[in-house]
Amino acid sequence: MEHIEDDRGVFRNFARVLRPGGSVIINTPSDQGGSDVQADSDESFIGEHVRDGYPMHELKGKLSDAGLETYEATYTYGRWGGIGWRLLVKYPMQLLGQTFAWAIVLPVYYVIAFPAGMVLNALDVAASKPTGTGLIVRARKPLS
């Protein structure tokens, strides 16, 4: 959703095409450092983002305005998952953004980084997260 300007329109379309009781799962950056943005002056390293992340209440409100009810919402990418995300996603993307020649080195990088990143992500899934840099929200179209 961080790539789509008219997010409200997308949420309305979800509500329009879902059958009653049908669900949608949204995985998007939160406003707690999503896209690795830590301060108002920071910009996402991914240039096509139209927003850096959502506050939980804003995403729930937009879904509600579209006619969907949120039945589960949780933060993702807490301390350990954030490190894993940087290791497995951000740093390789930044390297490839400099020159595609890094594609030659990245397979060797991933031989080392992938197991470490998977352990970090497993720790993150097991940990309680009162906040995090990502959100997973499940919403459904009401039965009536």
CA gap 5, 10 in Å, rounded: 9
The pLDDT value recorded for residue 52 is 77
Contacts (Cβ under 8 Å, ≥6 apart) of 48: 3
**What are the residue ranges of CATH 3.40.50.150 in the chain?**
1-78+129-144
Query: What is the CA angle 95-99-100, rounded to 5?
Result: 95
The number of residues in the chain equals 144
> The domain at 1-78+129-144 falls in which architecture?
3-Layer(aba) Sandwich (3.40)
pTM given for the model: 0.78
Structure confidence by residue, pLDDT tens digits, 96-128: 988 989 999 999 999 999 999 999 999 999 998
pLDDT at 32 over 70: yes
